[in-house]
Amino acid sequence: MSPGIAALRDVDPGRDVVLMAEVAEEATHVRHHPQKIVLFLSAMRHFAAELERSGLRVDYVRLDDPGNTGTLGGEVARAVARHGAGSVVTTEAGEWRLAADMRGWERAAGVPVEIREDDRFLCPHAAFAAWAEGRKAFRMEHFYRVMRTRTGILMDGDRPAGGRWNFDAENRRRLPDDVEPPAVPAVEPDAVTGEVIALVRERFPGHFGDLDGFGYAVTRADAEALWERFVVERLPRFGDYQDAMARGRPFLFHAVVAPYLNLGLLDARTMLARVERAWRDGAVPLNAAEGFVRQILGWREYVRGIYWHQGPGYARRNAFGADRALPGFFWSGDTDMACLAECIGDTRRHAYAHHIQRLMVIGNFALLIGADPDAVNRWYLEVYADAVEWVQLPNTHGMALHADGGLLGSKPYAASGRYIQRMSDYCERCRYRPDEAVGPKACPFNALYWRFLARNRDRLAGNPRLAMPYRTLDRFAAARRDALLEQAERFLETLD
């Protein structure tokens, strides 16, 4: 939804027609959260109206239009015939499935199809490939420094601003009782969004997620206003509390703008410049500005690079041979593990959970129980409003599940209940105790953590970042180790 997107760059209002199509395949190839479908469709309808206001001819195919073929390729072919078009120009897809489909459009439509690179990203495919050339394992930190140097963002000459590349150590505070994060404003649905909500209710019943309370922005103006509120109200403390989790406060100091960025309602370069300006003006501390820049210029570009560089074989890796079905409570939130109930509940209510909830609670649990990576990937792709495959898959498959065997990250993000206790208030109302590992009240994460390390010793024991936990495991008496493993197995039986 960017007027400056590659496909529109040289559009001629007197000659060209802009095709936009709502197709069932894109909404149903996985069962997306209803709020995500509303967000996408309503943003598309608003964007079409904006293009028309700017003088362009838009051919907009609605989901319920008679004759809608249900696929983008089908709609391109129909539109070519309808308008007698001599050629098609599009911007590259955001996932392998659609990219493969696009390669067949030329044959189906019978006219040349030009697929342009999406230059809203800061690292073109060729630049990532050049960086990746010859590397056996990739590390975000190295890529990020290259990107900082190349773009000059948060740089003073050839040195990182403040003399350090990384302020992570200052970004791990628990939320104190007396700090109340400012609310993230909800955008009142207008008539267009109301119509889409009704359509989604009717067409996609039974998808996981609440539709009541939909409050996402669906226009660039609203997304930009929400972004500016974040910069002024929450960014100053974003760094301090970016890893914190708290009951009833799903958004904390997070930006909640990834859906807008991925949809093209916000622009990454503009956002980075705004954050840098806020720091240089003294409005936000460097640990907050750097923490945010790291997410957009670092992680986001890095995982996209890996997604396209690796190709579909990446998703078939399964380093730990994990094959357990996802427990039913991933769809209901009905579990007495308070942390999972809260994070899945946030996801159901908002199509959102912040990155530590996704990584260190839900992803950590899926990793420790040995959940089938395909099932976990699918779940993440379905339930989050910002989940498009190029960003979701490397984050889930590589970072959370380590299913790629360490290609993307240097260690699995496995953690016991102690981590969750340290970073949240979830444990305070849980029937389990985070400081117990064996017995009826023991936090399940604890025994699962030790079982995970014990089971994957061959693969992980040589990792220097895991040397300490392995030393601890090896110091346990045999009886203690046996009790932990038995505790874990008993818990896993309850999932089956």
Q: Which residues bind ligand SF4 (CB under 6 A)?
A: 337-339, 417, 420-421, 426-427, 430, 432, 434, 443-445
In terms of Cβ atoms closer than 10 Å to its own Cβ (0-12, 13-18, 19+), residue 206 is: exposed
Residue 39 or 339 with smaller CB distance to ligand SF4: 339
In terms of Cβ atoms closer than 10 Å to its own Cβ (0-12, 13-18, 19+), residue 173 is: middle
- Is 302 strand, coil or helix? helix
Residue 60 or 491 with smaller CB distance to ligand SF4: 491
Residue 409 or 417 with smaller CB distance to ligand SF4: 417
CB of 451 to ligand SF4, least distance (A): 15
d(CA 288, CA 426): 25
CB of 121 to ligand SF4, least distance (A): 36
Residues 69-74: contacts with CB under 8 Å, at least 24 apart: 69/23, 70/23, 70/24, 70/25, 71/23, 71/25, 71/101, 72/21, 72/23, 72/25, 72/26, 72/98, 72/101, 72/102, 73/101, 73/102, 73/104, 73/105, 73/108, 73/109, 74/23, 74/108
Residue 261 or 368 with smaller CB distance to ligand SF4: 368
CB of 383 to ligand SF4, least distance (A): 19
CB of 438 to ligand SF4, least distance (A): 14
Helix (H) or strand (E) holding 113: strand 113-116
CB of 148 to ligand SF4, least distance (A): 35
Residue 79 or 427 with smaller CB distance to ligand SF4: 427
Phi, psi of 115 (to 5 degrees): -105, 115
**Token digits of residue 164:** 């350090």
Residue 123 or 338 with smaller CB distance to ligand SF4: 338
Residue 395 or 416 with smaller CB distance to ligand SF4: 416
Q: Are the beta carbons of 287 and 167 closer than 8 angstroms?
A: yes
Q: At what angle do helices 444-455 and 478-495 cross, to 10 degrees?
A: 110
CB of 252 to ligand SF4, least distance (A): 17
d(CA 34, CA 200): 7
CB of 450 to ligand SF4, least distance (A): 14
CB of 332 to ligand SF4, least distance (A): 16
Nearest CA-CA partner of 43 in 284, 386, 292, 375: 386
Distances (CA, A) of 437 to 352, 363, 413, 434, 486: 30, 20, 19, 8, 11
CB of 361 to ligand SF4, least distance (A): 7
Distances (CA, A) of 147 to 127, 150, 227, 422: 10, 5, 23, 33
Residue 245 or 399 with smaller CB distance to ligand SF4: 245
CB of 434 to ligand SF4, least distance (A): 4
Residue 35 or 421 with smaller CB distance to ligand SF4: 421
Amino acid at 155: M
CB of 87 to ligand SF4, least distance (A): 56
d(CA 208, CA 382): 8
Residue 220 or 354 with smaller CB distance to ligand SF4: 354
- Is 244 strand, coil or helix? coil
Residue 115 bridge partners (DSSP): 90
The stretches of 171-254 forming alpha helices (DSSP H) are 191-203, 220-229, 235-238
Residue 249 or 294 with smaller CB distance to ligand SF4: 249
Measure the CA angle with vertex 266, ends 231 and 165; round to 5°. 55
